[in-house]
Amino acid sequence: MTGGASSRMGRDKALLPYRGQTLVEWTAEVVREAAGSVTIVGSAEKYGLLGLPLIEDRTPGCGPLSGLDAVLAQSGAEWNLVVACDMPNLRSPFLRWLLEEAEHASADVTMPAGEPLCAVYRHTCREPIERALAEGRWKLARAIEPLRVKIVTAADTECLANANTPEDWAKILAHQEVAGD
């Protein structure tokens, strides 16, 4: 998912240059490797030129919950892997593991602790997410409280590191150079 004001970063995180492309393009490749397909959620005006399948928020200005609503409204899939574009350390094996965990769970949402923007949402979440939007409960963590949520323990929590500020971004890039990625 793209979007957000990127106010702490000072510029659009999705369009940061990363590994010879934009961060959102790189994230899209990782998701496609894990799930077989990818759709960007964001503004067609901003991201339409990337050439990736794209859907726009149905209720703009309501944060990530609106993006999740757009995904669930359009998708016919039972399981929907939802990933924010600001986690440059994500790897497809981790996302495949997360999908497998979801498929074996009797939950509506399967996610690492504290990461609702790197999670698998069952299609059954659609109506509760729509209701949360309609009621003005825009915080994603609050909106999923009534759902059956399975928290999984990730062996590699470094893959979930967010790039929210220029300092975060500099650390991620420095770590990448040291690790030889």
Model confidence at 168, pLDDT cuts 50, 70, 90, reads confident
Residue type for position 21: Q
111-134 pLDDT, tens digit per residue, is 999 899 999 999 999 999 999 999
**Range of lowest pLDDT (141-145, 167-171, 173-177):** 173-177
Q: In whole numbers, what is the pLDDT of the chain averaged over residues?
A: 90
Of residues 29 and 181, more confidently modeled: 29
What is the percent of the chain where pLDDT is above 70? 94
Model confidence at 65, pLDDT cuts 50, 70, 90, reads very high
Alpha carbon of residue 128 to chain centroid = 19
96-108 pLDDT, tens digit per residue, is 999 999 999 999 9
Q: Which two tokens stand for residue 138?
A: 């825009």
Q: Which two tokens stand for residue 94?
A: 């981790």
39-62 pLDDT, tens digit per residue, is 999 999 999 999 999 999 888 888
Domain boundaries, the chain: 13-179
pTM tops 0.75: yes
Residues sharing a CB contact under 8 Å with residue 165, sequence separation 6 or more, in sequence order: 8, 9
Domain made up of 13-179: CATH architecture:
Alpha-Beta Complex (3.90)
CB 98 within 8 A of CB 105: no
